[in-house]
Amino acid sequence: MASDTDSTSSEEADLRLSWSGRWSLSHRILALNLITLLLVALSTLYLDVFRNRLSKERVRQTRIEATATAQAILAAGPEDREPILATISKTTGTRLRMYGADGHLIADSWRRTGPTYQLVDPNTQKWTKDVARSLDRGFNALVGARSPDEFVEPPVDRLEAWPEALQARATGKAVTAVRNAPDLTPVISAAVPSGAETLLATDNDRAFTRTVHRQRAFIVAAMMFVVGLSVLLSLFLARTIVRPLRRLAIAAHRVRLGRSREVNVPRLPTRSDEIGLLARAVSDMSQSLRHRIDNIEAFAADVTHELKNPLASLRSAVDGLDRVDDPDLREQLRKIVREDVRRLDRLISDISEAARTDAELARATFERVDLGPLIEQLVHSWETRRETGDARLAFARPRKNSAAVMGKPDRLARAINAIIDNAVSFSPPGGLVEIAAARVGDEVRIRIDDEGPGVPPEAREAIFNRFHSVRPEGENFGRHSGLGLAIAQAIVNGHDGEIDVQDRDDAPSGARFTIRLPAADRE
């Protein structure tokens, strides 16, 4: 059985949370999701901002180079045009072209230097480049970036083939454009008017793509870190949620198997979240179930013991009837049989009522009960029956609705009647039983005083135990089962109240039973 049992301290050691113990589960789950989404959003935003700033800087550099080249050609003269274009093209890697006033190509740096860049056919590249281009397209779709037009060299190289050159000639200002080469690397162009002519600079900036890809690799590494962080946070949530739930499920399973006495359900007192509330609720439920099982077992043992006494007496009397010939003795035995049968009937009825009291109150729907008329009806019933001696009852009826509680009228009547029965049975001949009910603060107090011998301090708790019966001398045999006060206490407890007994402080002898019940809201 030791394997089924863990101490409370060892169970809670690996379930205890330090800095996050007071976070609710909703806050933990929300924090995990927000941290992950925030890191992804920040990484995407950073890469988009970095790429846009780098693109603007490269376009600005191309425009500055084109403007400086146009001014240099305009100052040098036509005969130095091509040497200047070739020198600058070799230095910057840019293709420089001049178009005359009629739009015809009049100078091209590649005629002297050869190609300074080459557009790459993506079909000739490795698969890793295809992956990179797919990532580029996905990132553009994610940030909502417009895809640039495709760069294509015109079949007839004239000014009209370049929209930026036409716009530069029309406005007299430098105009730039960005297009994509077939492998999605940017081709940056800048057109600048140079007198009656127009300079066009184009450059396939593959370094731009490499720089962006390096930054993206950094972002991927950061994302891997985010994934690792998410795993750690998931483990944190697992420790926060899954592990204690598994422990609670195992404990509940052991309780279901009938091992509730050996199982200590972790209460997690340091946690104020939903799991902590659940753990304490399950622990309280287990303890309540254990207490109920103990009570049932004790009750069954007490019932067995109490039934054996009248049954033994009944068996002895019945056996004696067959052997006794004396009519007076036979009548005495028959009287014993009748008394034992009456006692058994009373005992069985009280046992049945005691067994179902808790269950009835657990399912009951309470209603507003004015205790004044209810107690008055009980007193009238006692005065009509006069079952025990000539004890007198006096009830100080409270004002209407001043002593109202929420409860079951028949059950409350049963509890109060049991206390009155006890007071009457212990009252001396002609004794007075005084009953009062009044609201005191947020509770209603019912006081029942008798003039009997009182209850010794050491017995004031025991008298509410089941089958505890110390009856006054001369009482009819079998009239009480010893369950009346136990049933009364169960009913009062079921109404969230208390019951106790003390000596009277206004008389030389007698007991005072006080029932305290939560008062109903005032109408």
The structure tokens listed for 452 are 């009997």
- The predicted structure's pLDDT at residue 10: 44
| Residue 443 near residue 402, CB atoms below 8 Å | no
267 Cβ contact list (under 8 Å, min separation 6): 8, 12, 279, 280, 283
The full DSSP string for 349-362 is HHHHHHHHHHHHHH
The full DSSP string for 192-203 is EEETTEEEEEEE
Give 512's strand partners. Answer: 449, 502
How far is it, in rounded angstroms, from Cα 176 to Cα 330? 131
| Residue 433 near residue 391, CB atoms below 8 Å | yes
Q: Which residues of 144-159 are buried (b: 16+ CB within 10 A; e: fewer)?
A: eeeebeebeeeeeeeb
- The predicted structure's pLDDT at residue 489: 85
Instruction: Give the DSSP H or E segment for 443.
Output: strand 443-449
Number of residues that this document lists for the chain: 523
Domain boundaries, the chain: 26-216, 364-518
- The predicted structure's pLDDT at residue 11: 43
The full DSSP string for 92-110 is H--EEEEE-TTSBEEEETH
Q: Which of 251, 337, 317, 243 is nearest to 286 (CA)?
A: 251
- The predicted structure's pLDDT at residue 262: 62
Say if strands 175-180 and 432-440 run parallel, antiparallel, or are unpaired: unpaired
**Residue for token digits 């089941």?**
466
Integer CA distances (angstroms), 227 to 29, 37, 39, 231, 245, in order: 16, 11, 10, 6, 25
- The predicted structure's pLDDT at residue 4: 40
Instruction: Give the DSSP H or E segment for 449.
Output: strand 443-449
Q: Which CATH superfamily is domain 364-518 in?
A: Histidine kinase-like ATPase, C-terminal domain (3.30.565.10)
How far is it, in rounded angstroms, from Cα 426 to Cα 383? 16
- The predicted structure's pLDDT at residue 168: 93
- CATH number for the domain formed by residue range(s) 26-216: 3.30.450
Q: Is 507 helix (H, G, I), strand (E, B) or coil?
A: coil
What is the distance in angstroms between the CA of the first residue and the CA of the last residue of the chain? Answer: 56
Any idea of the CA torsion for 408, 410, 412, 418, to the nearest 10 degrees?
Answer: -160
- Show pLDDT as tens, one digit a residue, over the chain (523 residues): 333 434 344 445 545 555 455 556 566 666 767 777 777 777 777 777 888 888 889 999 999 999 999 988 888 877 888 889 999 999 989 999 999 999 999 999 999 999 998 888 888 888 877 787 787 777 777 767 787 888 989 999 999 999 999 999 999 999 999 998 888 889 999 999 988 899 999 999 888 888 887 877 877 787 788 778 777 777 777 777 777 788 888 888 777 776 556 667 777 777 777 777 888 888 888 777 777 777 677 667 666 766 776 787 778 878 777 777 788 887 887 888 887 787 777 767 766 766 666 666 666 778 899 999 999 988 888 877 665 456 788 898 888 888 899 988 888 888 898 888 888 888 888 888 899 999 988 999 999 999 888 888 888 787 877 666 655 554 444 445 567 788 888 888 888 899 999 988 887 888 899 999 999 886 6
* Conformational region of residue 22, where left means phi above 0, alpha means psi within -120 to 50, and beta covers everything else: alpha
pTM: 0.46
